[in-house]
Amino acid sequence: MTRRAILPTGTKTVGPYSPAIRAGDFLFISGQIPLDPQGHGLLQGSIEDQTRRCLDQIKEILAAAGGTMDDLVKVTLYLTDMGDFEAVNRAYSAYFGAEPPARACLAVVALPKGARIEIEAIAYLGQR
């Protein structure tokens, strides 16, 4: 099986890892925290804004690999406050149609850079 890193233009990581790895027909997307696109640390704003930023980053990584949000088969959300669950769901649901990917949501004590949310994902890209 071939394996290669996906490095979208402008994508930065906060540690020694690839934004995504394509292994065969699968794309494993590293956890995305809501980084400000202007490079000013974490995006400030509501949890909905931060959720959208994480998902936009995932969308950019998918596009660099030739995929779309419809290719996602599994998403994992990490929240530092489960009180944000409903607000996150409102923002999250706008990214998916009638058949969203499988999903898990976990409460965690802390996330990198003090983020309130982190989202990782797995996509199936078929023979692209």
Give the tens place of pLDDT for each residue, 17-28: 889 999 999 999
Contact 22, 125 (CB under 8 A): yes
Contact 32, 120 (CB under 8 A): yes
Query: Quick one: how far is CA 19 from the chain centroid?
Result: 10
Number of structural domains found in the chain: 1
Provide the CATH number for the domain around residue 120: 3.30.1330.40
This prediction's pTM = 0.91
- Which residues make beta-bridge pairs with 55? none
Q: How far apart are CA 23 and CA 35, in angstroms?
A: 26
Rounded (10°) CA dihedral 108, 112, 118, 122: -110
Give the tens place of pLDDT for each residue, 50-109: 999 999 999 999 999 999 999 999 999 999 999 999 999 999 999 998 999 999 999 999
Share of the chain above pLDDT 90, in %: 73
Expressed as residue numbers, the domain containing 64 is 3-124
